[in-house]
Amino acid sequence: MFTAGLWSVWKSYRSAPPLLSCTVITTDAVGELAEIHDRMPLLLAEEDWDDWLNPDAPPDPELLARPPDVRDIALRQVSTLVNNVRNNGPELLEPARSQPEQIQLL
């Protein structure tokens, strides 16, 4: 799976080192992913890689408007450990354990 993104290098007028930055291009979520969030990364099909990476041609608007193919994406529940950027280990890939339901008082 490959996602569309942009990157740039910004150099200040001072002697500070260049700042590298990047972003992931998003699009409207489709399929089951739309039940989780209204946006998702723009997925690129293999036949679109060369067009996307060509620095001499602007991106094809059709490529940006095409609904992504999400057939190979499998949804699964993950641990709340993924919500903290300080966590970065193989335990993040393990399936989440069931949480007891919260009791409704009202």
Once rounded to an integer, what is the mean pLDDT over residues 72-101? 86
Once rounded to an integer, what is the mean pLDDT over residues 74-87? 89
Using a 10 angstrom Cβ sphere, with 0-12 exposed, 13-18 middle and 19 or more buried, the burial of residue 43 is: buried
- Angle ∠(9,10,15) on CA atoms, nearest 5: 120
pLDDT digits (tens, 9 = 90+) for 12-58: 877 788 899 999 999 999 989 999 999 999 999 898 999 999 989 88
Sign of CA dihedral 90, 95, 97, 103: positive
The pLDDT of residue 99: 67
Segments making up each domain of the chain, as ranges: 2-71
Q: What is the mean pLDDT of the chain?
A: 87
The pLDDT of residue 69: 82
The pLDDT of residue 72: 83
